[in-house]
């Protein structure tokens, strides 16, 4: 999806602030992180649908919200979209017909569940890869309305395949609830190819890209 979130290669946003403090600035941010890690997501949610929800934020909100404010707003959207509660219930601050509370779990239980939840996105290859290591590839100049992991600055660019990773779940369809595997590659792009003649010719950018991203 083309939107405010895709900031790679864009200028005018000023320097990145450096914060030497811990990652949480307010107590509610700790709670937001804890709730996310303890499994509040609606059934069937995927990481790609979560990312797509962030992408669909109003640009002024995306640029002004802090990191965990984005998370909080996105979880509201995800849970309302899944009919976990309604917009009016969210505004009221309570559910009209609340379900029974979940059994309490300890911090140790949450940590153990997270240690065991390492997701594997590899799939069984049904077709042979179209490209091989060392081959030149050119990305599509697409402007998708839905989720994609092909950044705007690398569209219509030519690079070289340096690694083939087998088949992995395609995020573009995963955000729509369709789980299909596709060959995944690491592609190196020269900085001049991406940024123009002012870029350092000795620099390069590597990206993990799915096969359907190529012409």
Secondary structure of the chain in HEC code, one letter for each residue? CCCCCCCCCCCCCCCCCCCCCCCCCCHHHHHHHHHHHCCCCCCCCCHHHHHHHHHCCCHHHHHHCCHHHHHHHHHHHHHHHCCCCCHHHHHHCCCCCCCCCCCCCCHHHHHHHHHCCCCCCEECCCCCCCCCCCCEEEECCCCCCCCCCCCHHHCCCEEEEEEEEEEEECHHHHCCCCCCEEEEEEEEEEHHHHHCCCCCCCCEEEEEEEHHHEC
Q: Is the pLDDT confidence value at 18 over 80?
A: no
Per-residue pLDDT of 175-205, as tens digits, reads 998 999 999 999 999 999 999 999 999 999 9
Confidence of residue 54 (pLDDT cuts 50, 70, 90): very high
Measure the CA–CA gap between 103 and 100, rounded to whole angstroms.
Answer: 9
| Percentage of residues of the chain with pLDDT beyond 90 | 64
What domains sit in the chain, N to C, each tagged with a CATH number?
A: 27-115 (1.10.472.20), 122-213 (2.30.30.50)
Mean pLDDT of 60-89: 93
CA distances, 188 to each of 63, 161, 183, 195 (Å): 30, 6, 16, 14
| Percentage of residues of the chain with pLDDT beyond 70 | 98
Strand partners for 58: none
pLDDT score recorded for residue 99: 82
Per-residue pLDDT of 153-178, as tens digits, reads 999 999 999 999 999 999 999 999 89
pLDDT score recorded for residue 115: 81
Per-residue pLDDT of 98-141, as tens digits, reads 888 878 888 888 788 878 776 789 999 889 999 999 999 999 99
Mean pLDDT of 62-73: 94
Q: In Å, how far from its chain's centre is CA 104?
A: 30
């Amino acid at each position: 999806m083309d939107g405010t979130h895709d900031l790679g290669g864009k200028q005018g946003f000023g320097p990145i602030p450096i914060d030497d403090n811990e990652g949480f600035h307010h107590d509610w941010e700790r709670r937001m992180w804890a709730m996310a890690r303890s499994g509040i997501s609606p059934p069937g949610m995927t990481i790609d649908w979560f990312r797509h929800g962030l992408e669909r934020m109003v640009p002024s909100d995306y640029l002004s919200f802090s990191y965990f404010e984005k998370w909080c707003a996105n979880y509201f959207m995800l849970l309302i979209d899944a009919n976990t509660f309604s917009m009016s219930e969210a505004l009221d601050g309570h559910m009209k017909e609340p379900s029974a509370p979940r059994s309490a779990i300890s911090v140790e239980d949450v940590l153990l569940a997270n240690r065991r939840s390492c997701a594997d996105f590899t799939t069984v290859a049904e077709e042979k890869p179209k490209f091989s290591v060392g081959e030149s590839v050119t990305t599509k100049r697409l402007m998708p309305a839905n989720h994609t992991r092909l950044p705007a600055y690398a569209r219509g660019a030519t690079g070289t395949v340096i690694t083939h990773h087998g088949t992995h779940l395609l995020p573009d369809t995963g955000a729509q609830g369709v789980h299909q595997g596709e060959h995944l590659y690491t592609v190196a792009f020269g900085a001049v190819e991406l940024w123009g003649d002012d870029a350092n010719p000795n620099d390069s950018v590597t990206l993990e890209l799915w096969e359907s991203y190529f012409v």
